[in-house]
Amino acid sequence: MTDRTWLFTSESVSEGHPDKVCDRISDAVLDAYLAADPNSRVACETLATTDHVTIAGEVRGPDDVRQHVEEIARQAIKDIGYEQKGFSWKTCAVNNLLHEQSADIAMGVDEGSKGEEGAGDQGIMFGYACNETDELMPAPIQFSHRILRMMAEDRKSGKQPKFGPDAKSQVTLEYRNGKPVGLDTVVVSTQHMEGLSQDEVRELVKPYITAVFPNDWSLPDDRLIVNPTGNFVIGGPDGDAGLTGRKIIVDTYGGAAPHGGGAFSGKDPTKVDRSAAYAARYLAKNVVAAGLAEKCQIQLAYAIGVPEPVALYVETLGTGRVDTDKLAAKLREMMRLTPRGIREHLDLLKPIYARTSAYGHFGREPDADGGFSWEKTDLADELARSFGATQAAE
């Protein structure tokens, strides 16, 4: 098994990708409800196509928010940067079909006599962390996100106006003995202004590749593939229909770890599809930050209407330094994993979700206002002490 090498690939998509436009609108609607009433219940789905957006789902919250949904959607589209023929924040039709939450669902998840709510649905959720990057994320997905985020920042600032909002990236890294050691292939497809050749777009993209990767990671010129179809002027929902929740692997770990199947965007934190996945990431990241494992994967499982998870599974993938059963018991002691317990521990009843809708829900810096609270490593020192580790990882 010594010197074993392999290739692993992850992709990302920009905030202007059709599916991400829908995620952004759904999360912007969620934020509006939580800003008006932190106890709002929201399950918002969005469809986007040529000059059209439909918003549907179930909500329970202030009635006046529903009256502003069209305005919320247009502002989200404007912020992404769509003001083009075929899809513009000014002219697209917005169809608002949000309606009241089912009374049967509400009965199952509302607070009971012991001050707990049941999980909003059955399901399994995964969290993962590894020491491949400073953010304790798999390297291919982090690099894929960084390329597109830098391109979007320059597009929106005016530094690089020749890019359009829609883009995709794909990074293939070479691994040796479980560690990323170099680049194999990078693919970038980006919407661009009309009249640019494929070679011209390639030259625009090259500086972002240089900026993102370590200086000692070289990439042969023929392994950078830019706009392989040759032309990408028509993009966004005008080029391809979008739906909320279709980029769940982009949202998480780029395929390096399992995903439970439930999407995040548009769902308030009573929905364990979202909140329990955040909790699982939080715990896994703290395990790695504590130096107890190089990789940690956590699975949580819930039944609808039942507060406590029916199962917690911890796996360190052969890299652990402590007994995983004892580790699982300690994690349950440190964090109450009911829907209410997760929300309170991570302070999730805030309008902090639109910012999660592109470039990954994980591997981000915690924000001062509570955004990305699940990326904190505030349990690491206590975990390290509990198992006799000499110090937590930085």
Active site positions, annotated: 17, 19-20, 45, 58, 168, 232, 240-241, 246-247, 267, 271, 273
Is 246 assigned to a binding site?
yes
* Kind plus residue range of the DSSP H or E element containing 113: none
Task: Supply the DSSP string of 202-247, one letter for each residue.
Answer: HHHHHHHHHHHS-TT----GGGEEE-TTS---S-GGGTS-EETT--
Is 376 assigned to a binding site?
no
Is 384 assigned to a binding site?
no
Is 104 assigned to a binding site?
no
CB atoms within 10 A of CB 9: 16
Distance CA(66)–CA(58), nearest Å, equals 11
Classify residue 101 by its DSSP letter.
P
Is 56 assigned to a binding site?
no
Is 51 assigned to a binding site?
no
Is 168 assigned to a binding site?
yes
Tokens of 250: 């982009």
Closest by CA position to 22, among listed 244, 251, 237, 241: 244
Is 90 assigned to a binding site?
no
Is 378 assigned to a binding site?
no
Is 17 assigned to a binding site?
yes
Classify residue 253 by its DSSP letter.
T
The letter for the amino acid at 117 is E
Is 294 assigned to a binding site?
no
How wide is the angle at C-alpha 236 spanned by C-alphas 156 and 238, nearest 5°?
135
Distance CA(379)–CA(283), nearest Å, equals 8
Is 167 assigned to a binding site?
yes
* Paired sense of beta strands 5-13 and 87-88, if any: unpaired
Binding-site sequence positions for L-methionine: 58, 101, 240, 271
Binding residues for Mg(2+): 19
Residue positions in the annotated binding site for K(+)?
A: 45
- Binding residues, by number, are 17, 19, 45, 58, 101, 166-168, 240, 246-247, 263, 267, 271
